[in-house]
Structures are given as structure tokens and as C-alpha cells.
Structure 1
Amino acid sequence: MTSVRLQVDKLAPHINRALNALDAASRKVSLEPALLELVRSRVSQLNGCAYCVDLHTRDARTAGETEQRLYALPVWRETPFFTDRERAALELAEAATSLTEGPVTNEVYGRAAAEFTEVELAELIWTITVINAWNRLGATARPWPLDRPRSRPGQ
């Protein structure tokens, strides 16, 4: 199990409160909760934040997401399980998360802009930005322990 490295939330509580406030604001949006959790889950996968992958896949299930789609999320391009709107959101999320490969292209942005209103697109970009911030904390400092794994039935 991954152990806590540094409790940044407790050592710099004023910054933690600010990020929590930003996170709360990013959740007061018009976008579908299941779509947002798909985006948060995929970004967390890309960033290697185990805590956030666990958290947001659970939240996605609560928002009505299916196991099949969650399992297929890493290969969403290769499956028929996602709508054009979801594909545009996931593509934008991946591009905005992988900025070392270059800025988000006009083509990727254009596909997202075709599926979302300007307000929705702004909300989506903020959601992607906020989860990337949380992922960087989680993947670097590991300030929160993961739950102990549950034993499998029969063990």
C-alpha cells in the first residue's frame, strides 16, 4: 500500500482551504455529473494519482456510470460506449493534461466547442484544471492514505 509522504493539507492549511474552495466552485456547474466524473477519472488515470482514480470511479458509479464504461475508460477511443459529447470531453481532458506534448490543438478544442456551449466549455476546462491540481498533490505528496484493500470473497 502507498504510504503518506507529506500531509500538505495539514502543513499548509490556508492553501488547502483555497484549493477546496476552488474545487467546490468547480462542482457548481451545469454539466452532467457522470460526464464530470468520467473526465476526473480519466485525468487521474493519466496522472497516476491512485487516490483520485479510486475516489472518482466511486463517484462515477454513484452518478450512474456503468462498470463497463469505467473499465473501458483507458481505451475509450477504441470502444462504442461513449457519446460524441463524452468523447470530445475526454479528448480535451487528455490534451489539457498532457501539455508536455504541446498545447491543446485547434482541432481538439474545436471538437469540444462543437459539443458544448461556451459556458459548458468554460466549466469543463475549469474541471480539468482543478482535477489536475489535485492529481499533482496526490501523485507527489501522497497526503492521503488509500483504504486498505478489501479481501475477495472466499479469502
Structure 2
Amino acid sequence: MKKIECILLVDDSTSTNFYHKKLIEISGEATHVFEAENGLEALDYMNKKGKFTSSHPRPNIIFLDINMPKMDGFEFLENYAKLDDAKKADIIIVFLTTSNWTKDKIKAIESKLVYDFIEKPLTKETLQHICAYYRETYL
């Protein structure tokens, strides 16, 4: 099984990022896992700015929370859509959130940028399903 090169976790909860990072590491699904605390940091990651100026791999999968300070998940999507196509190529975005608002789910699913909308916490089975889809589609 070929590993996913990089997963980016975008969530303002340190404990949530810790849990999801450990789950991904233990699963062996990805070579690298990076974290951003909000949408603004995630854009910095994509553009190699701010604290992400050093070399790091482009993410293959982005797990994105909705409710975050500075820039929420939907604001991130609006700005992400404006990035060069080369920066967005072969990346899938999964909303990983506690939001159970129907309007958030509909808005996310209607976006052509979002692969899925799932509730926290990420499970091993869901992670494996998303990674298998990525491998079948892009690798």
C-alpha cells in the first residue's frame, strides 16, 4: 500500500489536532502530517508563508474544521479557490467538524472543492476510506 505523502490538519483545537495526528501516524496512512490552527495559517502553508516558509510537502488531503478564529473553514475555501490550479492539483478537502447544522453540511457538499463532510472525531475506518479513495483516484 502506497502511503499518502502529506495530510494537513486545519483546526484551532490543540487536543483535536494531537488526537488526529496520532491516529494518522499510528494508521501508517501518511508519511507527513502538518497542522494549521486556522484557515489563514492553512493558506500560509499552501503559499509557503509565515511559519511555513521552510520546505514542506504539498498536502494531498486537508481535514478542515469550520469554526475557527481569524479565518473559518468556509472563508478558507473562498481563498483556496483563488489559488493557482497547480497548488490545488490532486488535493481533496474533507470538512471534519463538530457542526451538525444542516446549512453547513449543504453548503460544504455543494462546494466543488469539498470531497466529504464528517463529524469529529476522525475514526480509523473513515481515515482508511478517505485515503483509499485518494490512492485510487490520484496515485
Q: Normalising by structure 2, report the TM-score.
A: 0.37
Considering fraction of residues, name the structure with more helix. 1
Larger Rg: 1
Considering fraction of residues, name the structure with more strand. 2
Indicate the structure whose relative CO is greater, using CA pairs within 8 Å and at least 6 residues apart: 1
